[in-house]
Structure 1
Amino acid sequence: MYFFIERYLPQSGWRLGVVLLFVGALTALALPPLNIFPILVLTLPCLYQAALKAPTARKAALRGFLFGMGFHSAGLYWLTNAILTRVHDYWWAVPFAAPGVAFVIAPLIAVPAVLCRYVAPGWPRIFLFAGSWTLADMSRVLIFSGFPWNPLGSALEVPSIIGDILIQPASIIGVDGLTLALVLSSLGFWEGYKGKFFVLLGSIIWVAGGGWLFTHPHYKSVENPKLVVVQGNVSEREVLGRDDAFKQFQSYLLLTRTGVEKARKDIGKSPIVVVWPESAFPGLLDEDKWARSAIAQAADGATSLIGSDRRDGKHWYNSLEAVGPDGAIKAIYDKSRLVPFGEYQPWIIPFNILPGVITPGDGLKTWDFPEVGRVGPMVCYEIIFSGSVTAPHDRPNWLLTISNDAWYGHSAGPYQHLATGRMRAVEEGLPVVFVNNRGVSAIYDSRGHEMQRTHWGAEEIIVSTLPKPKNRPLFSYLSKSISLFIAICMAVFSFLWRKNGIFTKF
């Protein structure tokens, strides 16, 4: 493989730049929803060899950056759809949506491209490349309010039982550990016969371990509620315009009534929880007693968790509100992790480009109601943060995230977002309920196995008994520190290998 790359990959100039952009874009095929992760065995070695062949560290950094621009621009192409929903106001931003975000995070791929040049050839370089890629990728939580979207480890989330098995090690090492394993194996595969042997052996152990974890879960003896998930299929233009607000509200009420009737028929008198997605209520629910009464009547004695905007003086919040059977507000959760350039404006832009900004809430909470159980509520963006989806010292028994991915159209965006919920279920050992306005909504059990899902662009309801949580996996105790420790050790070991000749026989 390396011989092929050395022979046919341009050595320098604009042709090499174009090839790296293209190869980076091909790498995005490994991401959800396609999950063609074997392509990494072909694309990552191209970057690796291009970085090693660069005459200077500066040019190696440029090559890593170009690869990153191709990778992130292709992986985030759907951001353009969000601009198109307000194209009359933001037409000028259409060409910059995906490339603009890619421009901010692509330099992180320059880090392994540069560092791997400073250690001994072979496994030391591969270890350093994999470790520094992982460390740089993990640092994305520090950019603005954080943007850890599309970690390479999500490539293993193949939509089948195969994917369920492949992602089980995330219960120990998290999605960042999966990223490290993929980069390491993609490069190590080409290190001669020993490399192929180690990668094959590691893959067998990985699949065997994942299969055992998947088939031998240990569940907690708690009962989670029965759910009615409501997907109303309201377009983003309708959400923004509110021209048919009453019609939208009536549609959600009708779907709720239908779902609760079905739930009563299927599961009898057990407690039921109704969930509406982000911004489903076209108004300010906490200020609208009549609307809450209508919701309570449609829910027929069930507690309803409703996405709504909220205001407190001059501050606006993106909220999830619990409405009891009597129509009273039982609890409110305000979104605390906001979307950069979507809900707040980062300081790097000195002029105003947003029509309004959202105020962040106080942080993650755990609600504990008899009819709802112990639930960790989240709104949209917050589910993407590995290791940061449960309230400290107040662990829930299930996770709920409400979202409105209608912004991104029928693209890869909603499916990539959905994949983050699946990964959080494995990492935390908790069932995850993902409720979306237009799709896709889904329920995952505590192993990340999909129980039910809706279709994109359809009015649908899901009626399901929520499965039990697992006993706490190791990742839920130690969080990202495990993969952080492994990546740092690999990087340090690479430099020691060069200095002292450790295990040079390999």
Structure 2
Amino acid sequence: MSDTAAVRPARRLAGARFAVAIACGAVAGLGQAPFGLIPLAIAAFAVALGLLHRAGTVRRAAWVGFAIGTGYFATTLHWIVEPFLVDVQRHGWMAPFGLFFSATGFALFWTAAFAAARALARGGWRLSAAWVVAMTLAEVARAKVLTGFPWAMPGYVWSDSGALPLAGWIGPFGVTLMTLVLAAIVHAAVNRAPSPAVAAGAGAVALAAAWTAPVGLSRLVAPVPPQPAADAPLIRLVQPNAPQDEKWDRERAPVFFRRQLDFTAQPGNPELVIWPETAIPYLAEAGHPAFERIAEAAGDRPVILGAQRTDGRRYFNSAFVLGPSGRITARYDKHHLVPFGEYVPLGSLGSWIGLPSFAADDGFGFSPGPGPQVLDLGGGLGDVLPLICYEAIFPRDVAGAPRRADWMLQLTNDAWFGTFAGPQQHLAQARFRAAEQGLPMLRVANTGISAVIDATGAVSDQIPLGEAGYRDVRLPQPLPPTPYARSGDWPLIALLLLAAGGLALVRRRA
């Protein structure tokens, strides 16, 4: 047999394993909203660990991690094509490239994790432990590197389960660590069985335990969700449901503006009215006639809304508090911007070599605000931490507030995310922020899902996706600061680094 003929079967086998790894990652992604198939996700991560055990070298382990990560992120981030489809004729051709580069780019973090795990341990339980540690650290890195993008962390599979309150104890990275540990236990139960039949039974039992144990533990430690007080502030959430391709249309934009005015003026006696992100088709400025119309519709009750503003050549994505006669009483400027969506990283470099500048200071994209800010609304409304859209996916943006608020508010325009997985995953992450901090959150979204989230992360009321309407809701009460709110992520990160160092030391001695 020639050398070429001998190589072909090996290549086919490698290709088959790569395809299996991609499929494994895709199945793991089905644990995320809107599917919520938690047992399937845990089983898929257990298979992923098994593939790592079969990868005999660091290089092969890296390829396995890349394939699994690509399948996972292609599934969980498939909604990322939606912004390109708003104007299909101009941007539709970019959609497949956007998904491909997003999936493979984020898969590089898992590539590094699988390679590091194989480098830290040769096999057995140490390799499984190294994988758990390396994967969790990879997710920490994904949340921070290049401003971060911690969307669809493995731990978020528990967002719509009874285990969600555990986030208040160990945070999102701790819940991710727990998820991977459970997958490693399932893998061990199957791998140590003496026969295929026993392996199937042991795997089923281990998987059932892995699915139910976190919920049982959560019931033991979860706080009792406080009920809204009878005299809690009544707040009106307004959802205009403006499709993104119509939102800025000259003929349609006034329709959506009037719709919000009508909802605001409906009978009732709310103490506060809230509109979503970029709720008006005008640049916000003091004395703008639109603000006067909004205040009139609200009966001079305070209104919080999202709008764009300018300061010289700089643009900001902001939230405003309007008082009587539409007077601006407070403002928050979004500080954590979407790379390439709201600004171009290093956009000023072009001007250094004689090319056009894409910097925010030159009027291209948005400029960031100074940072997290707590607004004092006065009276029974208390202190609120505003988050605009994407900011709610970052635990550190909530933890970085200058002081603890009484509640959180997310203004968002999820029309960009389509009508399926994107908005539901965004809501799931908002629920995690509430559970982590022990703070309620009101979420007001252009096309939905607007929601009332209590301090344990449970949704008590919502306006469904794709509907126009409003809700008058009582503001839920906060809980005392959770253990995670007091400690943050660094204790867990330190323990993970110590564990990685210990594994490296053991490997070196071996």
TM-score, normalised by the number of residues in structure 1: 0.87
Q: For 1:69-109, what per-residue CA distance to the aligned partner results, in whole angstroms no more than 9, with x for missing partners?
A: 11101111111111011222223312112221122211111
- After superposition, the CA RMSD in angstroms is 2.9
Matching of residue 232 in structure 1 with residue 244 in structure 2: no
Equivalent of 1:473 in 472, 476, 482: 482
Classify the secondary structure of the residue corresponding to 1:234: coil
CA distance in 2, matches of 1:407, 1:220: 32
Q: For 1:177-213, what per-residue CA distance to the aligned partner results, in whole angstroms no more than 9, with x for missing partners?
A: 1111111111222323899799887876633331133
Q: Mind listing any 5+ residue stretches in structure 2 that lack a counterpart?
A: 1-10, 193-201, 351-355
CA distance in 2, matches of 1:383, 1:421: 6
Equivalent of 1:142 in 135, 141, 144: 144
Counterpart residue number, 2:458: 449
Structure 1 residue 41 displacement after superposition: 3.4
Counterpart residue number, 1:127: 129
Counterpart residue number, 1:169: 166
Cα 1:98–1:42 shift into 2, 3 Å = same
Cα 1:209–1:387 shift into 2, 3 Å = farther
Q: Mind listing any 5+ residue stretches in structure 1 that lack a counterpart?
A: 1-9, 265-270, 502-506
Counterpart residue number, 2:198: none
1:4-23 to 2 correspondences below 5 Å: 12-23=13-24
Structure 1 residue 214 displacement after superposition: 3.3
Q: For 1:278-312, what per-residue CA distance to the aligned partner results, in whole angstroms no more than 9, with x for missing partners?
A: 11111023245321111111111321001111111
CA distance in 2, matches of 1:11, 1:245: 55
Counterpart residue number, 2:439: 430
Matching of residue 190 in structure 1 with residue 187 in structure 2: yes
Q: For 1:109-139, what per-residue CA distance to the aligned partner results, in whole angstroms no more than 9, with x for missing partners?
A: 1123222223253322111111110100111
CA distance in 2, matches of 1:143, 1:238: 35
Classify the secondary structure of the residue corresponding to 2:416: helix
Classify the secondary structure of the residue corresponding to 2:78: coil
Structure 1 residue 347 displacement after superposition: 4.0
Matching of residue 155 in structure 1 with residue 141 in structure 2: no
Cα 1:70–1:202 shift into 2, 3 Å = closer
Cα 1:11–1:41 shift into 2, 3 Å = farther
Task: Say whether the 8 Å CA contact 2:43–2:186 is kept in structure 1.
Answer: no
TM-score, normalised by the number of residues in structure 2: 0.87
Counterpart residue number, 1:252: 260
1:472-491 to 2 correspondences below 5 Å: 472-491=481-500
Matching of residue 370 in structure 1 with residue 367 in structure 2: no
Task: Say whether the 8 Å CA contact 2:53–2:123 is kept in structure 1.
Answer: no
Classify the secondary structure of the residue corresponding to 2:143: helix
Cα 1:220–1:497 shift into 2, 3 Å = farther
Report how many aligned residue pairs link the two structures.
479
Q: Choose 139-148 or 406-415, whichever is displaced more.
A: 139-148
Counterpart residue number, 1:278: 277
Classify the secondary structure of the residue corresponding to 1:463: strand
The one-letter code matched in structure 2 to 1:256 is: T
Matching of residue 334 in structure 1 with residue 333 in structure 2: yes
Counterpart residue number, 1:112: 113
1:39-438 to 2 correspondences below 5 Å: 39-117=40-118, 118-158=120-160, 163=161, 165-192=162-189, 206-216=214-224, 225-258=233-266, 261-262=267-268, 264=269, 272-347=271-346, 356-371=364-379, 372-438=381-447
CA distance in 2, matches of 1:221, 1:438: 29
Structure 1 residue 50 displacement after superposition: 2.5
Cα 1:205–1:51 shift into 2, 3 Å = closer
Cα 1:421–1:122 shift into 2, 3 Å = same
Classify the secondary structure of the residue corresponding to 2:169: helix
Task: Say whether the 8 Å CA contact 1:336–1:361 is kept in structure 2.
Answer: yes
The one-letter code matched in structure 2 to 1:361 is: G
Classify the secondary structure of the residue corresponding to 1:181: helix
CA distance in 1, matches of 2:288, 2:16: 64
Counterpart residue number, 2:470: 461
CA distance in 2, matches of 1:312, 1:280: 19
